[in-house]
Amino acid sequence: MKILSRAEELILLTIWRLKENAYCVPIFEKAQKHTGKKWSLGGVYIPLGRLEKKGYIISYLGEPSSERGGKRKRFYKVTPAGLRALKTAKEVEKSMWEGLEDILPE
């Protein structure tokens, strides 16, 4: 299992959180809200592509809608492999941080 990059991990979590409504725009907005940083759409697309290539998410096209100028939405869903990857990421973080939380400056 490959290690997730930070952006990939964050986006994977966001998709998971969004459950049914996980397409690019809400992922983008939620990620911005949670990290407090301004993302670029491109910076969302690229990790989405990599996650899909790694098999952690799958995508499917939705219905076209007029408010998007007639374009479809691409929805994403986390796969079991993706969940496993998240779990691994959490464990890696935990083991990395072990013993060091107290030294964090205020």
Question: Least separation, in Å, of the C-beta of 2 and another protein?
Answer: 15
Beta bridge partners of 75: 23, 60
Q: Which is nearer to another protein, 79 or 88 (CB)?
A: 79
CA distance linking residue 45 with residue 49, whole number of Å: 6
Which of 53, 94 has the CB closer to another protein? 53
Rank residues 23 and 56 by Cβ distance to another protein and give the closer one: 23
CA distance 71 to 33: 25
Binding region for another protein (CB under 8 A): 23-25, 28, 40-43, 45-46, 48-49, 52, 61, 65-74
Minimum separation from the CB atom of position 106 to another protein (A): 34
> What does the alpha-carbon distance between residue 10 and residue 14 come to, in Å, rounded to a whole number?
6
* Owner of token pair 């809608």: 65
